[in-house]
Amino acid sequence: MGRIVEVTVTAVHPREIEVKLADGRPGVIERADVEPELHLSPGDLVAAAVLARDDPRHRVVLSRSWARKQLAWERVEAAKASGETISGAVAKVVKGGLVVDVGVRAFLPASMVDEHPVADLATLVGSTIEVSVVEADRAADRVVVSRRDLLRRRRRDAERNAFAELTIGRRVTARVVGHADYGLQVEVHGVRGLVHRSELSWGRPPRSADVAAVGDEIEAVVIEASRAKHRLGLSIRRLTDDPLAAVEVGSVVPATVTKVLEYGVLARLEGHDIDGLVHMSELTDLPGYRPEEVVTPGEAVVVKVLGVDLDKRRVSLSIRQALLA
């Protein structure tokens, strides 16, 4: 096979295409040797490889398919050398991966299709994808490509850009991608994040599934963003003011007993989803009584707020002192 040259189409026939070389010599390309999607007309320029023979009419015989293959190899080798990506059509599923047409046959191993295992490789057949060249051996006619590396690089670029914008305190829209015992798994600008269970509500932490369904979009505020640790922390509760901050120390307010403990009782302040502790020493002035002997769950009481600890989310209450107020 010879060098690749650019020739000018002079005539198009059903079985052959007549061309003229740069030096004026006439040439010919078999019509079957030209890709069906390439529609040539007189005057068009086309690349073809010069073969080492003439036809009976003393025309130079050229090959379009051989030129395409050599040009494709040059493109593949250049992509491997530069690290740039090339595109190709996924032709079929084979053992261990996919065949991708990048001008030459390339093998895409299943492990390099995506960052995560692809359940059904057949879903990619017929699509055009971008890949990077991992191996190119023209002598062995072997090309190995990877899509995983490209996707990983793009994800990291997206993460870098996203983290630059995800500053502490910024309000964002997040898409719910999963539920866990420890919170709500979300995604913001392609970055995975977590709304910890403690950040779902100011009150008692709800189940994440009760807050939003997978696929829902929620509003949240960024409370932690570390690209180095690949960590994004969000909060739903901090979109609103902390109701605990509105509880006034020294105030006397109605409450309802929610639980009796060995060392006291929990009571929920009226109008708030806030439980405070009434230590057994603050239940009554009468000595010797156990908590369950003084009050019962569901009982309405009046309490005095003795203290509020915003960091530890604790409220100290007293029934005894409320009666003296």
Residue-wise pLDDT tens digits, 285-313: 888 888 898 999 999 999 999 999 988 88
Residue 140, token pair as written in the block? 């062995």
pLDDT in tens, 90-99: 999 999 999 9
Q: Measure the CA–CA gap between 244 and 310, rounded to whole angstroms.
A: 7
Q: Could you tell me which residue, 259 or 229, shows the higher pLDDT?
A: 259
Residue with tokens 């798994």: 185
Same-domain status, 94 and 147: yes
138 domain-assigned? yes
Residue 197 and residue 262 in one domain: no
Residues 140 and 191 in one domain: no
Contact 211, 229 (CB under 8 A): no
Final residue belonging to a domain, choices 212, 239, 266: 239
**Global pTM value:** 0.54
pLDDT mean over 110-120: 90
Write the burial class of residue 20 (CB in 10 Å: 0-12 exposed, 13-18 middle, 19+ buried). middle
pLDDT for res 323: 85
99 and 120 inside one domain: yes
Q: How many domains is the chain built from?
A: 4
pLDDT at 29 over 80: yes
Res. 10: pLDDT tops 60: yes
User: Does 51 share its domain with 105?
Assistant: no
pLDDT per residue as tens digits for the range 145-199: 999 988 888 888 888 888 888 899 999 999 999 999 999 999 998 888 999 999 9
Residue-range definition of the domain harbouring residue 22: 4-68
Residues 235 and 252 in one domain: no
> In this structure, are residues 134 and 147 in contact, taking their beta carbons and an 8 Å threshold?
no
Dist. CA 140–CA 104, nearest whole Å = 12
| Residue 315 contacts residue 305 (beta carbons within 8 Å) | yes
> Do residues 176 and 224 both lie within one domain?
yes
pLDDT at 131 over 80: yes
What is the rounded distance in angstroms from the CA atom of residue 152 to the CA atom of residue 156? Answer: 6
Q: Is residue 78 part of a domain?
A: no
Whole-angstrom Cα distance, residue 70 to residue 86? 16
> Per-residue pLDDT tens for 30-59?
998 898 888 899 999 999 989 887 788 889
For residue 325, the model assigns a pLDDT of 65
Q: How far apart are CA 9 and CA 260, in angstroms?
A: 95
Kindly state the tokens that stand for 235. Answer: 């909060």
Is 293 inside a domain boundary?
Answer: yes
The percentage of residues in the chain with a pLDDT greater than 70, rounded to a whole number, is 99
Q: What stretches of the chain show up as alpha helix (H) in DSSP? A: 64-82, 148-165, 208-211, 291-294, 319-324
| 77 in a structural domain | no
Do 228 and 254 belong together in one domain? no
- Distance from C-alpha of 132 to C-alpha of 312, rounded to nearest angstrom: 52
Residue 76 in domain: no
Q: So what's the pLDDT on residue 16?
A: 93
Q: What angle do CA 152, 158, 162 make, to 5 degrees?
A: 145
Question: 281 lies in a domain?
Answer: yes
Say how many residues make up the chain.
Answer: 325
Residues 252 and 320 in one domain: yes
Whether 158 is covered by a domain: the verdict is: no
DSSP per residue over 194-216, as a string?
EEEGGGS-SSSPPPHHHH--TT-
Sign of CA dihedral 104, 105, 108, 113: positive
- What the block records as the tokens of 245 is 């901050």
* Model confidence at 206: pLDDT above 80: yes
Cα angle value 280/282/287 (rounded, 5°) = 65
Q: Are 259 and 319 found together in one domain?
A: yes
Backbone torsions φ then ψ of 124, nearest 5 degrees: -95, -15
Could you say which of 127, 151, 175 is where a domain stops? 151
- Write the CATH number for 102: 2.40.50.140
Calculate the CA 148 to chain-centre distance: 13
Asked whether residue 1 carries a pLDDT value surpassing 60, the answer given is: no
- What are the start-end ranges of the E strands in 55-169? 60-63, 86-94, 97-101, 105-109, 128-137, 142-146
Query: Are residue 64 and residue 120 in the same domain, yes or no?
Result: no
Token pair 């964002």: residue: 172
Of 211, 239, 267, which residue constitutes the final position of a domain?
239
CB 189 within 8 A of CB 165: yes
Same domain for 183 and 123 = no
Mean pLDDT value across the chain: 91
Is 157 a domain residue?
no
